[in-house]
Structures are given as C-alpha cells and as structure tokens.
Amino acid sequence: MNLDKQIQYLIKNAPQDGTPEVMAAIAPILKQLATQLRHLEYFISQTPDQGWVMTTLSNRAQPDVEKNVVYAFPTLTDAKNFQAMTPKLIARKIPVTHILFQLVAMETVDSLVFLRHRVIWHLVQKYVEQIYKI
C-alpha cells in the first residue's frame, strides 16, 4: 500500500473522537518522514497480546541513562532472528505511516530504530548477546 493509501486508511479508520482531524493535520509530516525510509512496511516484534516489544538500552559510561527503543525490521527474517531469543514473540508487518503514528502515542518509547541492513542487525544482535551473556 503506498503512503497516500496508508494515510487515507489511518484517517478513515480512526476513532471518531477528533482523531481523524488530528491525523489529517499531521499526515504531511508522517508522509515526509516515511519518504525518508526505504520500505513501505516494516516488521515489529510484538507480544502475544499485541504489545510492541521495547528494548531498554543504557549508556556504559552513564549507566543511569536509559533509552527505550522499538526496532522496525525490513524483513520477516530479520524480525525472526531478533525473536529467536524470545520464541513467544510475533512479527507483524505494519505500514510505515502507521508505525510513525503509533510512536506519537507511545510516551514510554524514546526512539524507533528502522533497521536497514542485516549488518546493522548483526551488530544489534551482538550487543544484546553481550548484555545478556547469551
């Protein structure tokens, strides 16, 4: 689904509590951000109850500084590799504008990381393995 159709879908299916108007107002921003990404859809790891999986990262030099991130994977294979550490997770393909819109509502997420290449994924995997001594 192209970006315009993704945004039309968001507006059409938004709760009738003022959200369609908000969606229409921020649609140009969502589209502009989405055009900077490589894919129209990404895979997000979710729990069985459809909650997005957040990873808490900390700074080695400042252990009290933490960031909550959500990873968006370009392929199902990349998402499944990430999920191999936690087999109960589900990878769900989500349109990129929907991901960006959800981020607006997720106050506990500091960053959304759109992974582009398997090389980046392998670096993330190695980092996670070091943290959890897998």
* Digit-coded pLDDT (tens) for 45-76: 999 898 998 888 888 888 888 899 999 999 89
36: helix, strand or coil: coil
Sign of the dihedral through C-alpha 55, 60, 63, 65: negative
pLDDT computed for residue 104 by the predictor: 83
Rounded average pLDDT over 16-29: 88
- The three-state secondary structure class of 116 is coil
Q: For 27-52, what is the mean pLDDT?
A: 93
- Give the strand pairing for 41-46 and 111-114: unpaired
Q: What is the pLDDT of residues 86-115, one digit of tens each?
A: 778 899 999 999 999 998 888 889 888 888
